[in-house]
């Protein structure tokens, strides 16, 4: 069975803590994720997501603190919201299925939400199959 690789950019203050909590609470979740800790979802540049896809990710999650007020840096999550709202349109034009990219708000206490998001994502992407970062036609 195809095992998708999911890259997660998780904010240090909320989502990463939730990932930790899931671990310390011994809740199992699919092992398909590669979590990259960033200080804030507002630090995640769309270029990072493109690089992840280019380097073999089948799906990408950007996750941070709940808007409007949870952000440790006041409004980093709002910045992420703005960026990825526009970025999603780019992904759509480039033919990337919407299930392959998610922007999620997961607080430090929401280990269960983390598990749910990851499980859904793995299932959705598994149905889509591997992401092939190349043009969809063959050379003669």
Partner 1 sequence: MSERVKVAFYWCASCGGCEEAVVDLAEKILDVINLVDIVFWPVAMDFKLEDVERMPDNSITVSFINGGIRLSEHEKVVKLLRQKSKLVVAFGACSSWGGIPGLANLYTREEILERAYLTTPTTHNPDKIIPGSKTEVEIDNTKIEVPVFLASLKPLDEVIDVDYYIPGCPPTPNVTWKALETLLSGNLPSKGSVLGASDRSLCDECPLNKTKPENVLIKEFKRIVNFNPEPNKCLLVQGLPCLGPVTRGGCGALCVNANMPCTGCFGPLSDVRDYGGKAISYLASILDLDNEEDIKRELSKIIDATGLVYKYYLPKSALKGKVGGSKS
Size of residue set near partner 1 by CB under 8 A: 39
Which ranges in 2-135 belong to alpha helices (H)? 15-24, 46-54, 76-93, 111-128
CB of 4 to partner 1, least distance (A): 11
Judged by CB under 8 A, does residue 53 bind partner 1?
yes
Judged by CB under 8 A, does residue 56 bind partner 1?
no
Q: In angstroms, rounded to a whole number, what is the distance separating the alpha carbons of residues 62 and 29?
A: 17
With beta carbons less than 8 A apart as the criterion, state whether 6 and 122 touch. yes
Cα–Cα nearest to 115, from 19, 46, 44: 19
Question: Cα–chain-centroid distance for residue 16?
Answer: 12
Which run of H or E residues covers position 105? Answer: strand 101-105
Using CB under 8 A, which of the segments 13-21, 22-30, 31-39, 87-95 binds partner 1?
A: 87-95
CB of 26 to partner 1, least distance (A): 34
Closer residue to partner 1 in complex, CB, 44/115: 44
CB of 55 to partner 1, least distance (A): 9
State the residues that interact with partner 1 by CB under 8 A.
Answer: 45-47, 49-51, 53-54, 67-68, 75, 78-79, 81-83, 85-87, 89-90, 93-97, 128-140
């Amino acid at each position: 069975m195809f095992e998708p690789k999911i890259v997660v950019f998780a904010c240090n203050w909320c989502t990463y803590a939730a990932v930790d909590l899931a671990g310390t609470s011994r809740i199992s979740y699919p092992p398909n994720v590669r979590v990259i800790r960033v200080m804030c979802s507002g630090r995640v540049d769309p270029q990072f997501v493109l690089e992840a896809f280019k380097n073999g990710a089948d799906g990408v999650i950007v996750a941070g603190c709940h808007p409007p007020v949870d952000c440790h840096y006041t409004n980093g999550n709002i910045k992420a919201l703005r960026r990825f709202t526009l970025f999603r349109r780019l992904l759509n034009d480039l033919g990337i299925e919407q299930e392959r990219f998610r922007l999620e708000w997961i607080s430090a206490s929401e280990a269960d939400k983390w598990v749910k998001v990851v499980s859904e994502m793995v299932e959705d992407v598994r149905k889509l199959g591997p992401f092939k970062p190349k043009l969809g036609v063959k050379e003669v």
